[in-house]
Amino acid sequence: MKRTTLCALLLAVAGVQCSMFDVQLSTACAQTNITPDVLKKLEGSYTATPAEKALRNAISNVGLQKMAINQENAGAKNLDFSIEVKNTGITDQKSSGRCWLFTGLNILRGRAMKKLGTKNFVLSQGYLFFYDQLEKSNLFLQGIIDTRKEAIDSEMVRWLFQHPLSDGGTYTGVADLATKYGVVPADIMPETYVSNSTSEFCGHLKRKLREFGITLREKSEAGMSEKQLEALKVEQLQTVYKMLVMAYGVPPKTFTWKDLPQSSPFKGELERVFSPLDFFKTYCISEGEDLNKDYVMLMNDPSRPFGKVYEIDYDRHVYDGHNWLYVNLPIEELESIAIASLKDSSQIYFSCDVGKCLDRNTGIADLKNFDYDSLLGTTFGMNKKQRIQTFDSGSTHAMTLMAVDLDGEGKPTKWKVENSWGSASGANGYIIMTDEWFREYMFRIVANRRYCPASVLDLLKQKPIRLPAWDPMFSEED
């Protein structure tokens, strides 16, 4: 008895858990390690039947997704929508992470097209992206100054150096940047090779920012005052500005725009010199409209309590701008607000986990598109809350929500978004989502306050719950 107890104790110390009622050294118990006995048991799970060998051969040569296509769900789909906002034309972000910018500017250009009376008009993504990268550089460097007293391995400082800058973003970036710098037509500041393929240049800029950040910390340790550090930061930003010019061009201070409509507020002028800010205020927003104050960011995150307001630290593009602040709502309430907006011909900034269950060839996002369960002989049963908690799902891509199809009872059956992957992608550049998919993988929308019930607006009066910048649910959309 003593020998058995001692063996059990030794096994427990070694990390092997055994029953105290039947301990035998030669018997395989629950293991922390993959022992030869455990490996033999695992190997027995593959029996190499002709069917299993055929599946293995097919998967290794064709790939999982093609093998998992669910033919029972591959029939023709009804692509009609009972409520659809007129589209503004498909754009292409190419090899960049600027979906947030394309989505925001697609909404703004829809307004400009209506006021200008044109069907062929695009706002310059390159112009606003230039200032996005400049502002993010300042955000990082000022963050280094603000945290100069913290240890370099503190969580905040470590996060800053890990994420000095990116080409991803959120709605608040569009709102803050357009409000501060205005917008210009695409012809005034066209795309460059670098803006269409951002990763290489971003890598060099991030490296330079990290170097500048280390310099700021070293100067602080040597006794440089906060004001002196901020003056040094401005000198560093001069280098950043020059680098951005080399990559994206010189952003215009003014430009001449011709062929103004007869309804122009400028007394029938056929052309006029605009500043980017004047153009934005004239053609992209209504008089007195505020892209921050007049809009509410809504989230469906079942891993956190509903009816609460959350703010994500450092989830902004401009140092003196707005963090991502949202109201967490049940999916039914969020859908109701989205429908109200679309009924009033108002497109919506929308983001989701786009890669899940999406057939990129047809542009249809449907939970039944692929049958991985049958293919792999197992099930994938996590719900939305569990997927968020285990980092399996989160918001990855922003698009423009433009249509919904309602059944006889007014319930949504499918949704449609204008994407920014070019017209050759998906359904001629659009993505169609079943409502079942929408509920599982949609995360964020931005709606005008007038479409939100008083109960939702009242929630904004509460003090936001502050979440750290490194919360994995709130990575930038790209």
Active-site annotation, residues: 99, 397, 419
Q: What's the rounded Cα separation, in Å, for the pair 289 and 178?
A: 12
Q: What are phi and psi of 255, to 5 degrees?
A: -155, 155
**H or E segment to which residue 297 belongs:** strand 295-299
Q: What's the rounded Cα separation, in Å, for the pair 404 and 435?
A: 9
Q: What's the rounded Cα separation, in Å, for the pair 51 and 47?
A: 10
Q: What's the rounded Cα separation, in Å, for the pair 155 and 139?
A: 17
Q: Are strands 364-365 and 430-434 parallel, antiparallel or unpaired?
A: parallel
Q: What's the rounded Cα separation, in Å, for the pair 87 and 440?
A: 25
Residue of 346, 295, 302, 352 lying closest to 324 (CA atoms)? 295
* Cα Rg of the chain (Å, integer): 27
Let me know how long the chain is: 478
End-to-end CA distance of the chain: 63
Residue of 357, 432, 331 lying closest to 81 (CA atoms)? 432
Other CB atoms within 10 A of residue 90 CB: 19
